[in-house]
């Protein structure tokens, strides 16, 4: 069975040398374990960080060891009391077609409530990231202006919709006109802007005529640099991601220092990862599912098919072309 491993730590964008395909055999199935087949695999920007050998909130991948991420899997064989073949489970798995997992580390999913890919997106980790980052750090109030970058992405599209539910004026930033149209016409954002427009900073200022109360940060770089001068008094900046810096060296990620902007507006930046809110996951999931049911939250996935598409799907995270959550279908 093929397994995708980390062959070398990438400098810049990962490429063919980054990965190594190994042949592995499944071990025996012991008590408490499940033999599962990956059905939908999540590829996520944060995995890029784990390819570097630097201290972070999550340990780096080891050279020669498999890349792992979240997947919705189907149980083939079960040695665990509460699971039966055919059950669908959410698990953290290596990138290979089938795998033995500890049943204590997986979570059953009910695909009658939300679709299997939605468990990797809007009602899964990315939805929770949007939910807690926006509500617990951003704390939007009715009528405030919320700006979100990578707004057509998995996290950003949820952030914008939740901000609308809370009565905020929502401005999305994305990289193509197609995405900008999607944000305004399909998701009902109040405004959306293409950051490739040479007049982007000027247009952002115009779109945020009352200034920026919350900036949900997904991208970093020059896009965010354009937001700092617009911050209102007591602005909040949940810092979720900085995808523009993931494939460059730290010494290349230079921009205007933020201190004077933060002082002028008594603004707050808070870095976070969804794991910080683990105790509140059940409540968050319940609310996201409710909004989904009520039609207040819509979602879109970009789904590609086949094991050989895993690496291209991962790399496509960094080309800025996809809309919504990117999922690889393996069934």
The upper half-sphere exposure of residue 315, i.e. CA atoms within 13 Å in the direction of its Cβ, equals: 14
> Does position 209 bind its own copies by CB under 8 A?
no
Nearer to its own copies among residue 253 and residue 331 (C-beta): 253
CA 138 to chain centre: 17
Separation of alpha carbons 66 and 87, rounded Å: 25
CB of 174 to its own copies, least distance (A): 18
> Does position 27 bind its own copies by CB under 8 A?
no
What are the E-state strand segments in 130-222? Answer: 145-148, 169-174, 191-194, 212-216
CB of 186 to its own copies, least distance (A): 28
Separation of alpha carbons 210 and 285, rounded Å: 32
Mask 43-82, x = binds its own copies (CB under 8 A)? ------x----xxxx-------------------------
Identify which of 84, 65, 82 has the alpha carbon closest to the alpha carbon of residue 74: 84
CB of 112 to its own copies, least distance (A): 35
Q: Which of 259, 279, 282, 295 binds its own copies (CB under 8 A)?
A: 259
Nearer to its own copies among residue 184 and residue 269 (C-beta): 269
Q: Which stretch binds its own copies (CB under 8 A): 27-35, 77-85, 249-257, 289-297?
A: 249-257
Backbone angles phi, psi at 212, to 5 degrees: -115, 120
Q: Which of 96, 265, 285, 287 binds its own copies (CB under 8 A)?
A: 265
Separation of alpha carbons 197 and 83, rounded Å: 52
Q: Which residues contact 282 (CB under 8 A, 6 or more apart)?
A: none
The upper half-sphere exposure of residue 71, i.e. CA atoms within 13 Å in the direction of its Cβ, equals: 27
> Does position 247 bind its own copies by CB under 8 A?
no
User: Count of CB atoms within 10 A of residue 155's CB?
Assistant: 30
Sites for its own copies among residues 271-290 (CB under 8 A):
271-273, 276
> Does position 256 bind its own copies by CB under 8 A?
yes
CB burial class (10 A; 0-12, 13-18, 19+) of residue 86? exposed
Separation of alpha carbons 121 and 115, rounded Å: 10
Nearer to its own copies among residue 261 and residue 291 (C-beta): 261
CB of 192 to its own copies, least distance (A): 22
> Does position 198 bind its own copies by CB under 8 A?
no
> Does position 257 bind its own copies by CB under 8 A?
yes
Find the DSSP H helices in 258-308: 259-265, 281-293
Q: Which stretch binds its own copies (CB under 8 A): 35-43, 100-108, 263-271, 305-313?
A: 263-271
> Does position 242 bind its own copies by CB under 8 A?
yes
> Does position 194 bind its own copies by CB under 8 A?
no
Separation of alpha carbons 166 and 216, rounded Å: 15
Q: Which residues contact 257 (CB under 8 A, 6 or more apart)?
A: none
Identify which of 240, 208, 243, 251 has the alpha carbon closest to the alpha carbon of residue 222: 243
Nearer to its own copies among residue 65 and residue 260 (C-beta): 260
CB of 135 to its own copies, least distance (A): 16
> Does position 249 bind its own copies by CB under 8 A?
no
CB of 57 to its own copies, least distance (A): 6
Residues forming contacts to its own copies in the complex (CB under 8 A) are 49, 54-57, 217, 220-221, 224, 233, 239-242, 245, 250-251, 253-273, 276
């Amino acid at each position: 069975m093929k397994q995708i491993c980390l062959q070398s730590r990438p400098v810049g964008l990962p490429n063919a040398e980054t990965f190594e395909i190994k042949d592995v055999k499944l071990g025996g199935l012991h008590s408490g374990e499940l033999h599962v087949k990956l059905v939908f695999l999540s590829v996520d920007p944060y995995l890029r960080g784990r390819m570097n050998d630097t201290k972070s909130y999550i340990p780096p991948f080891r050279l020669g060891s498999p890349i792992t991420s979240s997947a919705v899997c189907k149980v083939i064989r079960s040695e665990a009391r509460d699971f039966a073949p055919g059950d669908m489970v959410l698990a953290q798995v290596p990138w290979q077609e089938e795998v033995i997992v500890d049943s204590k580390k997986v979570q059953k999913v009910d695909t009658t409530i939300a679709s299997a890919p939605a468990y990797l997106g809007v009602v899964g980790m990315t939805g929770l990231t949007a939910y807690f980052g926006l509500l617990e750090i951003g704390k939007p109030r009715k009528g405030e202006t919320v700006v979100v970058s990578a707004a057509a992405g998995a996290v950003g599209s949820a952030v914008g919709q939740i901000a609308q539910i809370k009565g905020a004026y929502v401005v999305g930033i994305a990289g193509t006109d197609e995405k900008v149209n999607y944000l305004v016409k399909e998701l009902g954002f109040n405004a959306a802007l293409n950051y490739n427009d040479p007049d982007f900073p000027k247009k952002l200022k115009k779109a945020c005529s009352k200034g920026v109360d919350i900036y949900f940060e997904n991208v970093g770089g020059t896009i965010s640099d354009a937001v700092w001068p617009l911050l209102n008094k007591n602005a909040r900046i949940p810092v979720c991601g900085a995808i523009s810096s993931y494939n460059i060296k730290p010494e290349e990620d230079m921009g205007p220092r933020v201190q004077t902007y933060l002082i002028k507006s008594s603004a707050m930046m808070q870095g976070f990862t969804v794991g910080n809110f683990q105790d509140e996951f059940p409540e968050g999931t319940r609310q996201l599912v409710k909004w989904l049911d009520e039609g207040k939250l819509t979602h879109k996935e970009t789904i590609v098919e086949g094991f050989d598409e895993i690496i291209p799907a991962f790399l496509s995270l960094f080309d800025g072309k996809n809309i919504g959550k990117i999922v690889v279908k393996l069934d």
